[in-house]
Amino acid sequence: MGKLQLIIALAMAAFSMFSYFGSTSVNPVTGEKQRVAGISPRQEVQMGLQAAREMAAQMGGLTSNPQARELVARVGARLAQTPIAQKSGYPFRFHVLADTRTINAFALPGGQIFITMALLTRLETEGQLAGVLGHEIGHVVARHSAERIAKAQFQQGLTGAFAIGTGSMDAAQISNMVGQMLMLKYSREDEYEADDLGVRVMAEANYDPRAMVGVMRILERASGGGGRIPEWASTHPDVANRILRLEKILRERYPQGVPRGATP
């Protein structure tokens, strides 16, 4: 029985590794090779559409505020017409959640993007709203959701193989915990990449990319200074570190200063 368990465990582990490492595609926007477990952009769009209504319901529904809806739709449409967004081929849609307590914005696979009223009402300029939405567009065009799904499937396969091979659920739980800690690194890298892509999208839409730094300062104030949760234990990078990285990106990309005339 022990040998059979080991054979099954090794087969499961081998299949998980082949499925993950053997399935790559080149992102048309970033040019990077990605492991997305055979998930196509069309499937991402379908997943996002299916999840959008449920996600909205879980967070109190969409706002009935017509000014908020119009503002987000207008800024979102301007960003969605940029070369980066158009090259991705995703049908972007922008939604405002009625939630007035949770400061948040997020993107579902395939282009469904949400922002809460709690965050929207804290933003000071149209450019800052473009920064938030541009960041979420960055997640979509970089296919971060597809990458996370692939990584989660890989982790689950290895955890199952470990549990069968050792015959111990405790050992499997430890393995799963280690896998989750490793996933945090990827999440932080995703956030940094989305910040970078968001700045590019903003600039292409003629918004002042410095407004993204303003967004981070608002988030920093909302989190009580940004230092309560150590970066290594968080799925998002420390806000202060994101500000430093954004300022570095702006210096390198605009050594002569940000072009004038952009919407602040």
Active-site residues, by number, are 136
CA dihedral (11, 13, 14, 19) positive or negative = positive
Strands 112-116 and 93-97: parallel
Which candidate, 198, 200, 207, places its Cα nearest to that of 127?
Answer: 207
Contact predicate 9/165, CB 8 Å: yes
Which candidate, 98, 124, 97, 100, places its Cα nearest to that of 113?
Answer: 97
CA–CA gap between residue 114 and residue 97 (Å, rounded): 7
Contact predicate 206/200, CB 8 Å: no
